[in-house]
Amino acid sequence: MSFADLTPLMPLMILAATPIVVMLMVAVYRSHAITALLSGIGLAGAFISLPMTSSPESVQVTMLLTIDGLTRFYIGLLVVAGFAAVLLSYGYLQTYAGHREEYYILMLLAVLGSAVIVASGHFASFFLGLEILSISLYALIAYPRLKAAGVEAGLKYLVLAATSAAFLVFGMALIYAALGTMELTRPVAFVYGTPAEGRGLPVMIGLVMLLVGIGFKLAVVPFHLWTPDVYQGAPAPVTAFVATVSKGSLVGLILRFFGQVDIAALDSLFTVFSVIAVSSMVFGNILALLQNNLKRLLAYSSIAHLGYLLVAFLVGGSMGSTAATFYLIAYVVMTLGAFSVITLLSGPQREAEHIDDYRGLFWRRPWLGGTFTAMLLSLAGIPLTVGFVGKFYLVVAGVSASFWLLVVVLVMTSGIGLFYYLRVVVAMFARQPQTPIATAVLPLSGSLTLAGLTLLLVWFGLLPSPLLEIIRNMIA
């Protein structure tokens, strides 16, 4: 590695240095406010450094990391989402009686792991990034360690994540045994070409095992069973983080992993991804219909939204990648916004997670009721929101490739989704609240985060063209 290799790595180096600085500061002097401030400064510094790494060509830093437009764009998205999660966490943890500073160290490490995943050009760096992310999430999910639901959720995630990691490692071993390399894009390119005799089957089995591990992290059907329990048991800002940063990093990875080939030309892989996409859209929406717990409802909803995103992924090419990335941004904005409202009304002692907790919210807190309504309507795909524009581009991408079955399922299941989102909206506008909503002053950091997300929701919904142009330029 030369000195010139350090410049493209600047965002990753800042993300790696920030938790070390925060840890040393905590060892000397404990302060919740200073810890949160340093965490925000580190994430902001990583984001500001991204333009410094810009290059018209892809930069390969050793065989492990690839720094190109796709990497920079996704790192920027993950850092912004992580910054929002830090702001939400600050207000949420104000009333937490235990140590609060270590929470931010774990969250910074999780952002670092996510950034390494999207920059990976090699199985070794991918697995290291994935483990940095996963180990941090184990502790974050169970952070209020005296809360039984959180410890249970953390333990479930630990067991299932370890199982999925075993599939990943075994798949990598099979691919390495067959091809003699662990470069990220080689297995798919090998299958897409003319497989050498005796090596095609091990590579295909290895790819299937990799898909099992990636499917678990994306929480798509049939690897979704952990999602509602973890979403319900984790603290609200951690749930927002898991739903956005963790999944966003894997979307960036699969776009790099499969981006160089036409998935539709690989009948077996196309069939597998199509079944996963259709199953996720159908079962995610149907199971969400049965929920009265809002966090579980949003968990099943997220499964459906990842199914929607896979439609664009299957289209491939510039159009498919652009539509998938735009919808991921829309999903991050909508999901963070929805969980921002839950976080503002929750605390370490009690989560505002039942639909009845939001009955009459609009009349008690018009600001929260109005913004939550906007987020839910955007998740349902109502016009003038970023969710509608995102689904529109997904449909256009699917139609352009003549994937009629996927498009029909997407449209029909979106109609099902509208019903359970409207259930929450109707509850918020009900005149007679069954459960009193907390009347304490809302944290400033969380309120500013929600205001910014609401602005982005409307802005990208009304003027999506500038963002689409940025996406096309960055992932070309």
Ranges of the chain with pLDDT below 50: 197, 439
Phi and psi at 431, nearest 5°, equal -80, -30
Please state the three-class secondary structure of 41-61 as a single string: HHHHHHHHHHHHHCCCCCEEE
Residue 137 confidence (pLDDT): 93
Residue 350 confidence (pLDDT): 79
DSSP code of 354? B
Residue 437 confidence (pLDDT): 53
Task: Kindly provide the b/e burial profile for residues 252-281, where b requires at least 16 CB atoms within 10 angstroms of the residue's own CB.
Answer: bbbbbbbbebebbebeebbebbbebbbbbb
Question: Could you state, in order of their start, the residue ranges of all structural domains in the chain?
Answer: 262-476
pLDDT tens for 193-246 read: 655 545 677 888 888 898 888 888 898 988 888 889 999 988 999 999 999 999
- Token pair recorded at residue 38: 């340093």
Residue among 452, 459, 371, 438 at smallest CA distance from 85: 452
Q: 264 and 310 in contact (C-beta within 8 Å)?
A: no
Residue 351 confidence (pLDDT): 81
| Distance, CA of 43 to CA of 49 (rounded, Å) | 10
Q: 92 and 351 in contact (C-beta within 8 Å)?
A: no
Residue 440 confidence (pLDDT): 62
| Distance, CA of 90 to CA of 340 (rounded, Å) | 12
Residue 2 confidence (pLDDT): 66
